[in-house]
Chain A
Amino acid sequence: MINKPDKIIQKQLQGDVTSNSAFLADTDVAVIGGGVVGCAVARKMALKGASVVLIEKASDILDGASKGNSAILHTGFDAPVGTLEWQCVQRGYEEYLAIRKSFNLPLLKSGALVAAWTEEEESRFPDILKKGSENGVKDLGMLSRSEVLSREPNLSVDIRAAITVPREFVIDPWSTPLAYLMQALENGGKALFKAGVTGGEFTGSKWLLKTARGKVRARYVINCAGLYGDILDRDVLGSSEFTIKPRKGQFVVFDKAAHKLITSIILPVPTKRTKGIVLFPTIFGNLMVGPTAEEQEGRDDASVDRNILNELHAQAIKKLPALENIPVTATYAGIRSATERPEYRIIEDTERNWITLGGIRSTGLTSALGLAQHVYGLLLKKGAEFSEVANPSIPKVPNLAEHLPRDCETPDYGEIVCHCEMVTQREIKAVLESDLLPAGSLSGLKRRTRVTMGRCQGFYCSAHLAELTEGKFQEPIAVGETDE
């Protein structure tokens, strides 16, 4: 029997702040944080038959590191050999490919090229190939300069050679976690928004968590608070084994006219600190360059910087000269939850039934499903017993990928609201009026429909959107009325 969610309750949970003394839920597992990792963990728990509540402090999912990434599904060819990160990336990769069709999640089978632009970079190829093969990625190949140029004729002729990574792909960074959480909710899970966890007490068998919305009792707690993972550990457990060192990555998004200029993800030869600056197609039909790697104090400050954007822009043109003539659509930044050490910080407080998934800094979109498997394994070891849902319900997410049919290709969509991204009124209404998981903020609506994310950035549709979203968000587009 499938546990259908209580629609009314889910709507209430999404609503306004109740009172922080209210008692909200009693559950097997509380997942703190609605980033991609939290969504994947919640899904796994629900499918395994646990009662699960995902607790998020923002008004929608993906408010932290998961809101701005490169959306590459990594094979793990360059992951540190034999690490838990590598294992989770590989497992996450496999599971994503296995389940994505049933959710209607798209895949751009772009493949990647690790491109060498200098002799020094080329000299690192043997190491990269060796690491790839140690990591079980057996299909890496080599291309000479002329082979690279025949495959990617728009790349600068300065290219020297490349390693091919045929199974490095591009996915939809926002619909993916959304699909995970929707499946958790459709199979009995609950999600609480605007409910930042501020403290908690372990009573010997259960946790009583304090949130901004009220209290939640849980047998197990999984800390998936991303950029705030260390703070949460400190607030609740009293200490943290790691400290988050936020590392910002800025991006420049080029107009859709650039999409046809490359077919593969163009990776640089990685350095120790980062994967470096990548040129890549997006699932939405754009082309992007980024991300940078900038250490900073602020965990929320995703500011962009003109000089750095210009630098990125120039680097992109150097590698792909035709970009010179392509307009910029958008600029943004994402923040990685790096720590003082490069590896994932998976920490278990066995006595208190608390697991922290910390420091998931640059591969979390890929590894999330793998991490969820890992966490489930840890709970089993602790003796947790759940009975797996027999025929889990599988939600379909609306397609936003440019290469697949969009909603506007099916008649009776009302009208197109966002002309640049071809977003229909029907799509927007469906997200705003969803019983299961309505968008909780304008950014949430953007991530789930792409509205205003195109080249005009709202010149044509902001007014229409202000009207459609009236009364829906805590921070509305319009702040007042006028008789004019």
Chain B
Amino acid sequence: MSDTLKYDICDVAIIGGGPSGLAAATTLKKSGVERVVVLDRESVAGGVPRHCGHPPFGIVEYKRILSGPSYAKKIVKTAITAGVDIWLKTTVTSLGNEGRLTLISPDGPGALEANRVLIATGARETPRSARMISGQRPLGIYNTGALQSMIYLKKRVPFHRPLVVGTEIVSFSALFTCRKAGITPVALVEENKKTSVMWPIGYGTRLFGIPLLMNTSILSIQGHERVEMVKLSDKDGNEKDINCDGVLFTGQFIPESSLVRMSHLHINQITGEPIVDKYGRCSDPSYYAAGNVLFNPVKVAGKCWRAGQATAQWIVKDLMGTAKRKI
């Protein structure tokens, strides 16, 4: 244990250096807030777009079409240029009363006391376990986020012939990512009779020549070391085995809000979103939230960027004492 707890203060602390957090930080600085600190647990800021190797990003923010990684670099640069302090490899471990945060970083445990805190921790996909899927637990079962970081950040592939589950926008991202990495999905399955989103899925499956199995659910995953087969069932209960070497669960986003759940802040117990007023302010008025941690369903980066900006403007007013306190 380190004997000295590092302690610091700031005007606004922002948890999460993705599009919403960085947009808010940039806006705050530009509005004249003195000390704005972004805390991100990863070693590189930018959030999820860092590993979305595909366009379109940046239309709203920069009026250009960028790939995720270039977009991520750009929003980080914009924030730094505006004078935002970004602390990397810094995990917020608890949210205390009135903006008292505890942190862990390779320098040791620390504390940061902020006048206002913005929670911008994003969202993640529901893993296999929380979907209560039957079967064995071999290697080769991932979410899109993990697949994309493996491919775009580490240039590695976790499978060659996965079954892809879900038909949300992110499922299209998944197909696109597979295509780029030379991975051939054996099929795309959807439990419902309609795809969650129409356009990219129909288009994507046709474009990539991947069978789209509607009204189909997973009975079980089989495989000893790695995934070998998935048992499927259609709406009439007809069973079908499909050989594959992985399963990719896409979508069913949930807020990355465990910090909030473990804290004094109020949370929507079912969806996991922090409860906020129309300004994005939490039950403890020192805290705000913005971006995909609040959006249900999740939104694209541009929308999160906008949301970060808007919430930052409220925080500025709040700091100046001009915001109306209406909850």
- Residues of chain A touching chain B, judged by Cβ–Cβ distance below 8 Å, are 253, 255-257, 300-307, 309-310, 313, 324-325, 327-332, 405, 408-416, 419-420, 422, 442, 455-460, 462-464, 466-467, 475, 477-484
Contacts and interface: CB of A to CB of B under 8 A. Distances in A.
Given A331-B129, A479-B160, A484 B134 contact: no
B2 interface: yes
Contact of A408 (B104, B127, B139, B262): B104
B269 A419 contact: no
Interface stretch (B106-114, B184-192, B313-321): B106-114
A313 B134 CA distance: 14
Which of B53, B124, B130, B136 has the most chain A CB atoms closer than 10 A to its own CB? B130
A328 B220 contact: no
Nearest to A312: B132
Contact of B91 (A309, A416, A457, A458): A416
Number of contact residues on B: which range applies?
35 or more
B262 A478 contact: no
A443 to B, nearest CB: 9
A458 B146 contact: yes
A439 to B, nearest CB: 15
Contacts of A415: 43, 89, 106
A313 B145 CA distance: 27
Given A302-B136, A482-B182, A484-B151, A462 B158 contact: yes
Contacts of B270: 325
Contacts of A422: 91, 104
24 contacts: A300-B224, A301-B136, A313-B132, A327-B254, A328-B132, A408-B104, A411-B2, A415-B89, A422-B104, A456-B124, A458-B146, A463-B146, A463-B153, A463-B154, A466-B150, A478-B150, A478-B157, A480-B157, A480-B160, A483-B155, A484-B53, A484-B151, A484-B155, A484-B177
A459 B155 contact: no
A460 B124 contact: yes
Contact of A457 (B41, B129, B153): B129
B258 A257 contact: yes
Interface in B210-240: 220, 224-226
Contacts of B108: 409-411
A327 B177 CA distance: 29
Nearest to B125: A459
B139 A475 contact: yes
A482 B160 CA distance: 11
Nearest to B219: A306
A414 to B, nearest CB: 7
A176 B104 CA distance: 28
B246 to A, nearest CB: 9
Nearest to B122: A460
Nearest to B43: A415
Contact of A303 (B134, B151, B182, B225): B134
Contacts of B53: 484
Contacts of A302: 136-137
Interface string B143-178: 101100111111111111000000000000000010
Contacts of B160: 479-480
A100 B256 CA distance: 36
Contacts of A313: 132
A413 B53 CA distance: 29
A327 B129 contact: no
B181 interface: yes
B261 interface: yes
Contacts of B181: 482, 484
B65 interface: no
Contacts of B2: 409-411
B1 interface: yes
B51 interface: yes
A329 B129 contact: yes
A64 to B, nearest CB: 14
Given A456-B127, A462-B150, A463-B51, A482 B156 contact: yes
B264 interface: no
A405 B1 CA distance: 8
A467 B160 CA distance: 18
Q: Which of B125, B154, B272 has the most CB atoms of chain A within a 10 A radius of its CB?
A: B154
Interface string B260-275: 0110000001101000
